[in-house]
Structure 1
């Protein structure tokens, strides 16, 4: 699966960053021994505490209900953002909470909105990941039926930019109704960027 390969590559990159940080700690300790041989305690830094990002949607933006099954019979959820070396990835899930089966064969329809609910200028959604630099290749879509109670997943990938994305407007495909969802953290996709998608696949 694409998500597994992506986590592996991101994990390897994060291990490399961690190794650099570890070597930096050793150098810092050596410099401290030279400048403070008597090991006198140094005053701790005072760090400013930033307020948490509000999860309350803007009054002008209609979002999916927090609980229950929407009238469409489909409920969307987004995972946390994984990232390393400037590549970002997120899982989009869709659960059939209704009573009718849904036929799927393709990619989700997704657009990125700012805090006011307006599309971010220049952010273009692409079917597949070929246009996202250093993103792993995706698989071809395959048809399947999403039965009541079942979940499908797709991947969203982009290159890091400014943190302008607040909401995602999502739909199973371009022919169906959209709904707005708000991720737990801002999406650093910024303007003039490409959001790559992987096809829907049954959740394993």
Structure 2
């Protein structure tokens, strides 16, 4: 007796697959091979999960400061020098440069306030004209009037005794009659709270040797 092997047709395979699937025997791999002979990967059905939304979004306080470059509309550019410290006494040089086209008359002390990181004045810190009340500070010789020509720079000293709280910004003006601008020194000022900031008067900055 000759045995005859019958090659299963596409319809037979599909019928078997459907029958086995209905009975609980899944042949998804065989079905995939039958209808996807090129073995192309099936597209992923993974759904992207959106990132979590913070319940309390952080807000960083913004403090308006002097532009980093260029000449401000006032024609004056301020700068705060490094801090010198010895035996608890702190000293800093505040400078102002006439970057405009008009001369400025200076006669007196700078107007200075110390601000915290949020741009608020540090409680209890008072600015005085002169250095009286700041122990170990050098004597104040008093102001003398002079003209700050375009391109020239003037300087004024700031002195205080070391304390715990740091000041982040200085709100400065050539004097109490003119508009202020915020400047951020390179290093914080350990000046508050309840402290005195002494000021020296404006004087022409030494001219560099040509």
TM-score exceeds 0.5:
yes
Partner of 2:55: none
Deviation sequence 1:139-194 (CA, Å, 0-9, x none): 11000000000000000000000132000000000000000000111110011000
Partner residue of 1:156 out of 158, 169, 176: 158
Equivalent residue runs for 1:122-161 within 5 Å = 122-161=124-163
Equivalent residue runs for 1:80-119 within 5 Å = 80-119=82-121
Deviation sequence 1:22-73 (CA, Å, 0-9, x none): xxxxxxxxxxxxxxxxxxxxxxxxxxxxxxxxxxxx6420000001100000
SS of the equivalent of 2:94 reads strand
Distance 2:188 2:156 in 1: 19
Distance 1:82 1:134 in 2: 13
SS of the equivalent of 2:66 reads coil
Report the structure, 1 or 2, having the larger strand content.
2
Distance 2:93 2:145 in 1: 19
Partner of 2:77: 75
Residue pair 1:163, 1:186 contacting (<8 A) in 2 also: no
Distance 1:171 1:66 in 2: 17
SS of the equivalent of 1:67 reads coil
Q: Where does structure 1 lack aligned partners over 5 or more consecutive residues?
A: 1-57
Higher Cα radius of gyration: 2
**Aligned residues: CA RMSD:** 0.8
SS of the equivalent of 2:171 reads strand
Q: Where does structure 2 lack aligned partners over 5 or more consecutive residues?
A: 1-59
Residue pair 2:165, 2:193 contacting (<8 A) in 1 also: no
After TM superposition, the runs of 4+ consecutive aligned structure 1 residues lying more than 4 A away are none
Partner of 2:37: none
SS of the equivalent of 2:179 reads coil
Report the structure, 1 or 2, having the larger helix content.
1
Distance 2:61 2:115 in 1: 14
